[in-house]
Amino acid sequence: MPLTLRQIRQNCADARETMERARREHYALGAFNLDNQETLRAVAQAAKNKNAPVLVEISQGEVDALGLENVRDMVDNYKAILGIEMYINLDHSPSVAAAKAGIDAGYEFIHIDISQAQHDATEEEIIAATREVVEYAEMTGALVESEPHYFGGSSNFHTEKIDYNEIRKTFSTPEGAYHFVKSTGIDTFAAAVGNLHGKYPVPKKIDLELLQQIRNAIDCNISLHGGSGTPGHYFVDAVKIGVTKVNINSDMRYAYRKTLEKVLADDPTEYAVVKLMPKVIAAVQEVVESKIDTFNSTGKAWIR
């Protein structure tokens, strides 16, 4: 059932208060991607077990497969049944129209990422589109996130090594972050400091000194995309610096697939999908709970 505008505004106000508390109390909300209802259930159960606030997020592929409104309804159902603090982020929305659709559907967090669909988009084009979404979001109070350039990698398991010489060319700068935040009015800046979408055969390395410089330069929230495959100590320090949102996807997908493969191999005669899922859900839930602990958000849920 669609939410009323009043309900949407209250949810967005709660989300803003949660992000402010995360900044004050030095924890980050995990933003966990959904592929299906099984991953949603894993995240919801983890949030319940850890008494933690969480974001669940979908990008355009999941929007096409699941539907904006359907995800809204499923999340609201789990919130009501389990009594958890959970919000929805529209991740890497590739156009202004798609971002506005997420706002209309009552999503509390909107990531507008023009460069995802147009890698060579100019900063001026990205700023103009982002400002339009920020202004539209005033209707509900949704928090808007963006970045001034394309962020590399993909939410998959990569076999190539990380070329940090190339990645450093796309790192955020304190001056660039300040200019972009001031020009757009965004609520959350997606920093590029060594984080990279996807899971790689070598651990990722976060430039914490650069992250601190960016934190000193801007006063809005900071998110880290591409959190999978990153040693936990980086996030412990990043949260202390002031990061309040970390995106996790590939670690969950890896656990899902590897566990499902084992379940299928162990029981090749079982065709009832519902009977194959408990171990898969448990494996994904374990990943989510581990991230919640690392982000220092255990016990931080705030239920009205």
CATH code of the domain containing 209 = 3.20.20.70
Structure tokens at 179: 């200019």
Q: Domain of 188? A: 5-294
Q: Residue 300 domain-assigned?
A: no
Give the separation between CA 28 and CA 254, rounded to whole angstroms. 23
- Mean pLDDT, all residues of the chain: 93
Residue 34: inside a domain: yes
Q: Where are the beta strands (DSSP E) in the chain?
A: 29-33, 54-58, 86-93, 109-112, 143-146, 153-157, 188-191, 197-199, 221-224, 245-248
Q: Quick check: 267 pLDDT over 70?
A: yes
- What is the number of other CB atoms lying within 10 angstroms of the CB of residue 17? 12
State the CB neighbour count (10 A cutoff) for residue 302.
11
| Structure confidence at residue 228 (pLDDT) | 84
pLDDT in tens, 84-93: 999 999 999 9
Give CA–CA dist 288/282, Å, rounded. Answer: 10
Question: 141-150, 152-161, 290-299 — which one is most confidently predicted on average?
Answer: 290-299
**Average pLDDT score over residue span 64-81:** 97
Residue 228 lies in a domain: yes
Q: What percent of the chain has pLDDT over 90?
A: 83
Among 119-123, 267-271, 272-276, 279-283, the range scoring the smallest mean pLDDT is 119-123
Residue 303 lies in a domain: no
Q: What percent of the chain is modeled with pLDDT above 70?
A: 94
- Nearest in space to 142 (alpha carbons), one of 55, 229, 50, 203: 55
Sign for the CA dihedral angle at 285, 290, 291, 297 comes to positive
Task: Report the alpha-carbon angle 159-164-165, nearest 5.
Answer: 125
- Report the C-alpha gap between 260 and 247 in whole angstroms: 23
- Of these residues, 35, 91, 113, 251, which one is catalytic? 91
Question: For 49-70, what is the mean pLDDT?
Answer: 97
Q: Helix 37-50 to helix 250-266 angle, to the nearest 10 degrees? A: 110
- For residue 304, being part of any structural domain is answered with no
Determine whether 293 is an active site residue: no
pLDDT over threshold 70, residue 201: no
Query: Comparing C-alpha atoms, which of 207, 250, 214 is closest to residue 229?
Result: 250
Alpha-carbon distance values, 64 to 44, 70, 113, 145, 210 (Å): 22, 11, 17, 21, 36
How far apart CA 298 and CA 194 sit, in angstroms, is 26
Residues 19 and 112: their CA atoms lie apart, in Å, by: 18
Task: Compute the chain's Rg from CA coordinates.
Answer: 18
Helix, strand or coil, per DSSP, at residue 283? helix
In a domain, 299, yes or no: no
Domain count, the chain: 1
Residue with tokens 């949407």: 8
In a domain, 151, yes or no: yes
pTM (2 decimals)? 0.94
What is the helix (H) or strand (E) element at residue 103, kind and residue range?
Answer: helix 96-104
pLDDT band for position 229 (50/70/90)? confident
Dump pLDDT digits (tens) for 103-128.
Answer: 999 999 999 999 878 888 999 999 99
* Stretch among 19-28, 123-132, 163-172 having the lowest mean pLDDT: 163-172
Residue 172 lies in a domain: yes
